[in-house]
Amino acid sequence: MNSLEGKAGLYVHVPFCAKRCPYCDFSVVVGRTDETDRYCQAILEEARNLQWSPPIETVYLGGGTPSLLTPTQVESLVKGLRSQLPIERTARLHLEANPDDVSEDRLRGYAEAGVQFLSLGVQSLQDANLDFLGRRHSAEASRRGLKWATSAGFSTVSADLIFGWEHQSLNSWLEDLKDLLILGVDHISCYQLTFHRETPFGQKLKQGKLGELANAEQRIFLEKTHELLDREGWMAYEVSNFARSSVHRSRHNMKYWNGSPYLGLGPAAHSFRNNERWWNRRAYGDWLQTVEKGGIAIAARETLTPQQRLLERLMLALRTTQGFSVPSLELQYGITLPLADRQRFGEWAKSGYVTWDGERLRPQFRGMAIADALAATIRWPDENLN
Amino acid sequence: MNKIRNFCIIAHIDHGKSTLADRLIQKCGGVKDREFRNQILDSMDIERERGITIKSNSVTLNYRAQDGEDYQLNLIDTPGHVDFSHEVRRSLMSCEGALLLVDAAQGVEAQTVANLYLALEYDLEILPVINKIDLPSADVDRVQEEIDSDLGLDPFEAILCSAKTGEGVDSLLEGIVQKLPAPEGDIEAPLKALIFDAQYDPYRGVVLLVRVKEGTLRKGQRLRFMHTDKEYTVEETGLLKLQREEANELTTGQVGYLIAGIKTVRDIAIGDTVTDAASPAAEPLPGYKEAKPVVFSSIYPLSTDEYGDLTKALDQFALNDAALTYEKDSSTALGFGFRCGFLGLLHLEVVQERLQREFGLNLLLSAPSVRYLVYLNDGEVKEIDNPAYFPDPAQIDYCEEPFIKASVMMPERYIGTVMDLVRERRGEETTFRYLSPGRVELTSELPLGEVLFDFYDRLKSVTQGYGSFDYDILEYRKSDLVKVDILVNSDSVDALSQLAHRDKARQRALHYCERLADTIPKQQFKIAIQGAIGGTIIARKTITAFRKDVTAKCYGGDISRKRKLLEKQREGKKRMKMVGNVEIPQDAFMAVLKTDSN
What is the reported pLDDT for B54?
53
Question: Best interface-test mutation with A: which of B526, B549, B562, B576 has the largest number of A CBs within 10 A?
Answer: B549
CA distance A119 to chain B (A): 15
Determine, for residues B569 and A262 on separate chains, whether the beta-carbon distance falls below 8 Å: no
CA distances to A31, A135, A160 from A131, rounded to whole Å, are: 21, 6, 16
Determine, for residues B560 and A311 on separate chains, whether the beta-carbon distance falls below 8 Å: no
Q: Work out the mean pLDDT of chain A and round it to a whole number.
A: 93
- Amino acid symbol at A365: F
What is the reported pLDDT for B339?
94
Which of B548, B562, B566 shows the shortest C-beta gap to A370?
A: B548
What is the reported pLDDT for A273?
94
What is the reported pLDDT for A3?
42
- Considering only CA atoms, give the Rg of chain A: 21
Determine, for residues A370 and B570 on separate chains, whether the beta-carbon distance falls below 8 Å: no
> Over the range A184-216, which residues count as b (16 or more CB within 10 Å of their CB) and which as e?
ebbbbbbbbbbbeeebbbbeebeeeebebbeee
CA distance A355 to chain B (A): 17
Which residue in A has a C-alpha nearest to residue B522's C-alpha? A373
| Chain B residues within 8 A of A270 when measuring between CB atoms | 556-557, 559-560
Q: What is the mean pLDDT of residues B412-427?
A: 92
| Chain B residues within 8 A of A353 when measuring between CB atoms | 524
Q: Which residue has the higher pLDDT, A295 or B159?
A: B159
Determine, for residues A370 and B550 on separate chains, whether the beta-carbon distance falls below 8 Å: yes
Which residue in B has a C-alpha nearest to residue A366's C-alpha? B547
What is the reported pLDDT for B286?
84
What is the reported pLDDT for B34?
47
What is the reported pLDDT for B269?
85
How far is residue A28 CA from its own chain's centroid?
Answer: 17
What is the reported pLDDT for B595?
54
Beta strand ranges found along B37-88 (DSSP E)? 57-64, 70-77
Residue B82 scores a pLDDT above 70? no
What is the reported pLDDT for B540?
95
Q: What is the mean pLDDT of residues B390-395?
A: 93
pLDDT digits (tens, 9 = 90+) for B285-330: 887 777 788 889 999 998 888 999 999 999 888 877 878 899 999 8
- Please give the interface size between A and B, counted as residue pairs whose CB atoms are below 8 Å apart: 96
* A48 in contact with B, Cβ within 8 Å: no
Lowest mean pLDDT among A15-19, B251-255, B265-269, B503-507: B265-269
CA distances to A103, A173, A182, A183, A192 from A179, rounded to whole Å, are: 20, 10, 5, 6, 20
CA distance B375 to B397: 6
pLDDT band at residue B88 under the 50/70/90 scheme: confident
Which residue in A has a C-alpha nearest to residue B552's C-alpha? A192
Question: Best interface-test mutation with B: which of A26, A218, A251 has the largest number of B CBs within 10 A?
Answer: A218
> Over the range B306-332, which residues count as b (16 or more CB within 10 Å of their CB) and which as e?
bbebbbebbeebbbbbbbbbbeebebe
**DSSP letters spanning A62-116:** EES-GGGS-HHHHHHHHHHHHHHS-EEEEEEEEEEE-GGG--HHHHHHHHHTT--
| Helix or strand holding residue B513 (H, E) | helix B502-519
Question: Best interface-test mutation with B: which of A237, A272, A315 has the largest number of B CBs within 10 A?
Answer: A315
How far is residue A133 CA from its own chain's centroid?
Answer: 20
Axis-axis angle for helices B85-93, B110-121 (nearest 10):
60
Least Cα distance to B173 among B314, B317, B72 occurs for: B72
CA distance B542 to chain A (A): 16
Helix (H, G, I), strand (E, B) or coil at B435: strand
What is the reported pLDDT for B33?
53
Q: Which residue has the higher pLDDT, A1 or B427?
A: B427
Q: What is the mean pLDDT of residues A309-317?
A: 97
Determine, for residues A315 and B563 on separate chains, whether the beta-carbon distance falls below 8 Å: yes
Determine, for residues B557 and A376 on separate chains, whether the beta-carbon distance falls below 8 Å: no
| Chain A residues within 8 A of B553 when measuring between CB atoms | 191-192, 194, 240
Interface of A with B in 149-178 (CB under 8 A): 163-164
Q: Would you say the pTM of this structure is higher than 0.90?
A: no
Per cent of chain B over pLDDT 90 is 40
What is the reported pLDDT for B30?
56
- Amino acid symbol at B31: V
CA distance B334 to B353: 19
Question: Best interface-test mutation with A: which of B303, B525, B551, B578 has the largest number of A CBs within 10 A?
Answer: B551
pLDDT band at residue B597 under the 50/70/90 scheme: very low
Cβ atoms B348, B356 nearer than 8 A: no
Burial class of residue B454 (count of CB atoms within 10 Å of its CB; 0-12, 13-18, 19+): middle
| Chain B residues within 8 A of A376 when measuring between CB atoms | 566, 569-570, 573
Residue A1 scores a pLDDT above 50? no
What is the reported pLDDT for B44?
55
CA distance B561 to chain A (A): 11
| Chain A residues within 8 A of B562 when measuring between CB atoms | 315
pLDDT digits (tens, 9 = 90+) for B134-174: 898 888 988 898 888 778 888 888 999 998 888 899 999 99
Interface of A with B in 280-299 (CB under 8 A): none
Determine, for residues B566 and A375 on separate chains, whether the beta-carbon distance falls below 8 Å: yes
What is the reported pLDDT for B403?
94
Lowest mean pLDDT among A141-155, A359-373, B82-96, B416-430: B82-96
State the alpha helices, DSSP H only, in A183-305.
200-206, 215-231, 251-257, 284-292
Least Cα distance to A64 among A117, A11, A103 occurs for: A11
Residue B35 scores a pLDDT above 60? no
Residue B455 scores a pLDDT above 90? no
Cβ atoms A102, A74 nearer than 8 A: no
pLDDT band at residue B462 under the 50/70/90 scheme: very high
pLDDT digits (tens, 9 = 90+) for A181-190: 999 999 999 9
In 3-state terms chain A splits into helix, strand, coil percentages (rounded to 5) of 45, 25, 30
Per cent of chain A over pLDDT 70 is 99
Report for A8-12, B102-106, B293-297: range of highest mean pLDDT: A8-12
Report for A249-263, B132-146, B443-457: range of highest mean pLDDT: A249-263
